[in-house]
Structures are given as structure tokens and as C-alpha cells.
């Protein structure tokens, strides 16, 4: 069984090689992202393993089919980059990693929130220059503030636990709510207008693309903070930039960006970036952006590797694919 792993980084290779000692597959690691132009690199592979910024559209799937690929094993929870229905119509199931370490992403979102409200990035830069002035570094307490959790899956629930630890009041919105102790579910408009912090923990779908836009931002509290560690497409980036410039929002912290493909996970320090919106967001004093690293812990990488290879084993064994995207 040969697996071709696209968009491979050094940490992917290390953790997959370690876990593969229990499976014994032939894994080839490729640097390029999977798309219609690179699909031919899967020649001879039984399984391809793309990551979140790969483009597994119809053209790509047709080429994978021609090369004899039998399974698409996403090594991510998100699947909005893959036309899974079309793949299945071609006889190629799509499996994913629905949960690897919800705590990793939830903890990262609060690391971003703390850095934002306590102005830690500004303080760090100052002290590196031996400037120990505290002017302009006044923050806020999280204790007693209201946080709006959008999406109460495993990551959202982990975030709720952290928020309670800070003594925050929790409001939640989810189209498919599940009861959670001491958590009040409400509609999205009420959550936005009542929350000091709004944090997103939901997958990207056609229905919720640009869930946060110029109109929904207007409904948020003046000076509220926005956190997104889910998918970039949940936020209209231009609307967010205007809200930060106008001080409608107190700040925003993003681990994802709607046009991050080709930018995130790469070193562009010598060339700069052509995306003007992202460049301006990065330059904003009330914004913090990280490069989709919320999942990047040892525990999560091992879980991703193990679940991905177990998905392959289930396919080989002909058992139910419990992590199949349908």
C-alpha cells in the first residue's frame, strides 16, 4: 500500500514515520500542495494524503482516478477544500481526522486572546529594545466578561471549559446544539450583541461563509474582540479590516485567513506578500495573526498521523470507514 503525502513538512514526516512503525506502509513525502497541476505526482499511489490548503476539486479527482488512486485520506478535520461527493461518485472515498486534539486549538485561541487583550506582542517588542515603559499597554480582565462561542463541537466545548476557568460568562450558538452545563444557547444576533469576546469554532460550509461580515460586525459590541482559529472563510477579511481601522472592534486575533493558500506554511520573509488585505491586517496594532498553527502540538500531530493511517487500514480491511466524509 503506497501513500503519497502532499504538502509535507518536516514535522509531518517525523510523526508519520514514528506512527508508521505500527503500520508499515510505503509513504512518499512531497513538498507541493495537491491540486490539478500536481495530481500526476500521485502516479502509482493507492492513497493520497492532502492537507488543508490543497485543492481537491473535480479536475484533481479525475486525474487521481486516472493514476489509480483508491482513497483520499485528509489529514485534517476540515474538508471544504475537497469535492467529496464527486470523489465518491468516482469510487474514491474521502476520509478525514475529525478530532485530533481539540485542546490544542482551544488553548491556542486563548493564547491569542490573552496576547491581544494584554498587548503582549507590543510589550515583547518594547522590552527587546530595553523600553520598559507601560504607556499604551493597559489591558482588560477576562474575569466576568461574556464570551460568545460560535460552534460547540469538541473544540468549542474545550474552549468553554477554559473560559469557565477564567470566570467568564458563556453564550453559545450552534445550528445543532447539544446541552452543556451552565451554558446558555442563543441566536447568533443575541450572541454578537451581548459578547465582549466572540470566538469561532465551526467548520466552513456554503451556508456560513462570511458569517462575520460588515452587517454582523455592526451588531457586535463596540470594542469587542474577535478570535478565529477555525477557517478563514468564516470572516469577510475586508469588513474585518475596516472594523479594526474604525475601532468598531477592540481587536482581532486570527490563526486562519480566507486566502491563506500559498502564503501560510511558507517563508516569504524575503519576498513579502502580494495580498494587500492580509498585509494591512498584519500591520494593524490591534490585530494578531498566526500561520494556522493552532493544531501544532506534539500530541495533535501524533493523533493526526495515527488516525490517518488507521483510516487507511480500515479501507484496506474493508471495514466501515467511520471517518468517511459523506
Identify the CATH number of the domain in which residue 85 sits.
Answer: 3.40.50.720
Considering the domain architecture, whether residues 214 and 182 belong to the same structural domain is answered as yes
**Is 172 within 8 Å of 160 (Cβ atoms)?**
yes
User: Is 33 domain-assigned?
Assistant: yes
User: Is 326 domain-assigned?
Assistant: no
Considering the domain architecture, whether residues 306 and 229 belong to the same structural domain is answered as no
pTM of this prediction exceeds 0.85 = yes
Considering the domain architecture, whether residues 68 and 110 belong to the same structural domain is answered as no
Considering the domain architecture, whether residues 77 and 127 belong to the same structural domain is answered as no
Catalytic site residue from 75, 96, 258, 260: 260
- How much is the average pLDDT of 274-298? 96
Catalytic site residue from 75, 96, 231, 306: 231
Considering the domain architecture, whether residues 70 and 202 belong to the same structural domain is answered as no
User: Is 72 domain-assigned?
Assistant: yes
Considering the domain architecture, whether residues 107 and 205 belong to the same structural domain is answered as yes
Considering the domain architecture, whether residues 89 and 40 belong to the same structural domain is answered as yes
User: Is 181 domain-assigned?
Assistant: yes
Considering the domain architecture, whether residues 108 and 222 belong to the same structural domain is answered as yes
What are 252's strand-pairing partners?
Answer: 226, 287
pLDDT class for 261, splitting at 50, 70, 90?
Answer: confident
Count how many domains the chain has: 2
What are 227's strand-pairing partners?
Answer: 199, 253
Residue 203 and residue 84: Cα distance in Å, rounded?
15
- Tell me the residue range of the domain where 304 lies: 2-100+297-317
Active site residue 59: no
Active site residue 15: no
- Here the contacts of 12-19 (C-beta below 8 Å, separation 24 or greater) are 12/75, 12/301, 12/305, 15/298, 15/301, 15/302, 15/304, 15/305, 16/305, 16/308, 16/309, 18/302, 18/305, 19/302, 19/305, 19/306, 19/309
Considering the domain architecture, whether residues 60 and 9 belong to the same structural domain is answered as yes
pLDDT at residue 122, as a whole number: 97
pLDDT at residue 144, as a whole number: 98
Residue 47 and residue 71: Cα distance in Å, rounded?
5
User: Is 323 domain-assigned?
Assistant: no
Catalytic site residue from 15, 108, 292, 306: 292
Considering the domain architecture, whether residues 133 and 250 belong to the same structural domain is answered as yes
Considering the domain architecture, whether residues 121 and 239 belong to the same structural domain is answered as yes
Residue 53 has pLDDT above 90, yes or no: no
C-alpha dist (Å) from residue 1 to 27, 77, 183, 291, 318 = 9, 23, 47, 33, 14
User: Is 125 domain-assigned?
Assistant: yes
For the chain, give the number of residues.
Answer: 326
pLDDT at residue 231, as a whole number: 94
- Determine how many CB atoms are found less than 10 A away from the CB of residue 141: 11
User: Is 324 domain-assigned?
Assistant: no
Active site residue 260: yes
Considering the domain architecture, whether residues 19 and 63 belong to the same structural domain is answered as yes
Amino acid at each position: 500500500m503506497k501513500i503519497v503525502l502532499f504538502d509535507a513538512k518536516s514535522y509531518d514526516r517525523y510523526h508519520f514515520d514514528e506512527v508508521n512503525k505500527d503500520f508499515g506502509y510505503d509513504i512518499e513525502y512531497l513538498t507541493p500542495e495537491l491540486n490539478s497541476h500536481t495530481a500526476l505526482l500521485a502516479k502509482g499511489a493507492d492513497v493520497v494524503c492532502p492537507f488543508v490548503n490543497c485543492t481537491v476539486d473535480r479536475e484533481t479527482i479525475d486525474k487521481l482516478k486516472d493514476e489509480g488512486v483508491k482513497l483520499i485520506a485528509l489529514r485534517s478535520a476540515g474538508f471544504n477544500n475537497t469535492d467529496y461527493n464527486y470523489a465518491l461518485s468516482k469510487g474514491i472515498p474521502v476520509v478525514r481526522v475529525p478530532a485530533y486534539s481539540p485542546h490544542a486549538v482551544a488553548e491556542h485561541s486563548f493564547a491569542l486572546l490573552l496576547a491581544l487583550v494584554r498587548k503582549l506582542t507590543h510589550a515583547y517588542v518594547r522590552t527587546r529594545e530595553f523600553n520598559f515603559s507601560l504607556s499604551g499597554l493597559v489591558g482588560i480582565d477576562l474575569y466576568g466578561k461574556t464570551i460568545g462561542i460560535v460552534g460547540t463541537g469538541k473544540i468549542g466545548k474545550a474552549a468553554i471549559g477554559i473560559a469557565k476557568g477564567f470566570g467568564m460568562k458563556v453564550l453559545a450558538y450552534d445550528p445543532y446544539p447539544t446541552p452543556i452545563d451552565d451554558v446558555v444557547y442563543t441566536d447568533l444576533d443575541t450572541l454578537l450583541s451581548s459578547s465582549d469576546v466572540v470566538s469561532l469554532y465551526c467548520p466552513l460550509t456554503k451556508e456560513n461563509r462570511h458569517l462575520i461580515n460588515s452587517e454582523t460586525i455592526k451588531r457586535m459590541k463596540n470594542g469587542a474582540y474577535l478570535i478565529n482559529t477555525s477557517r478563514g472563510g468564516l470572516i469577510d477579511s475586508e469588513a474585518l479590516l475596516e472594523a479594526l481601522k474604525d475601532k468598531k472592534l477592540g481587536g482581532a486575533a486570527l490563526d486562519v485567513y480566507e486566502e491563506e493558500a500559498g502564503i501560510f506554511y511558507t517563508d516569504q520573509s524575503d519576498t513579502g506578500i502580494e495580498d494587500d488585505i492580509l498585509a494591512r491586517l498584519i500591520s494593524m496594532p490591534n490585530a494578531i495573526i498566526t500561520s494556522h498553527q493552532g493544531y501544532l502540538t506534539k500530541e495533535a500531530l501524533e493523533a493526526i498521523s495515527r488516525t490517518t493511517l488507521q483510516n487507511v487500514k480500515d479501507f484496506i480491511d474493508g471495514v466501515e470507514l467511520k471517518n468517511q466524509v459523506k
